[in-house]
Amino acid sequence: MGYDVHITRREQQADEGSDILLEEWATYVESDPEMRMEGFAEAQTPDGLLRVEKDGLAVWTCYSKHEENGNMAWFYYSHGNIQVKNPDEEILRKMFRISQIFGAKVQGDEGELYNATGSMKDYSSSGPLRKWWQFWK
């Protein structure tokens, strides 16, 4: 299944409003020579070819582990956020740089925030994270 991390303008990524628009995302991807808008992703599985098609699906081509027929850093536009499944620190750093363009932040599914180094933000001087049961309010 995996764990998603989001570029979001919202207080919590699952909240409503403050969307990053698909048009904004497409304009950004077009302007970044390291990114390419694909609109689809494919992977070979033991059961055959898996293909996902979605407007706003882009790939970071300068990812150090990028392989055309293998590992790729997919950035997925969904419901006003940009998300990446199971990002490593290198991808989190790229996500942070992109978030700065959108006046946004990088936030995991559990509300944790990530900084420019791809590490979780130090919460010692900030308020508490949203409790798990508050995600469904």
| Residues with Cβ within 8 Å of residue 10, at least 6 apart in sequence | 16, 17, 18, 80, 81
Percentages of the chain per state (helix, strand, coil), in multiples of 5: 20, 30, 50
Q: What is the pLDDT of residue 134?
A: 45
Residue ranges covered by each domain of the chain: 4-136
Which DSSP symbol is given to 135?
G
Tens digit of each residue's pLDDT, the chain (137 residues): 678 999 999 988 888 889 999 999 999 999 999 999 998 888 778 898 888 899 999 999 999 987 766 678 999 999 999 999 999 999 999 999 999 999 999 999 999 999 999 888 765 444 445 544 444 44
Report the distance separating Cα 20 and Cα 80, nearest Å: 5
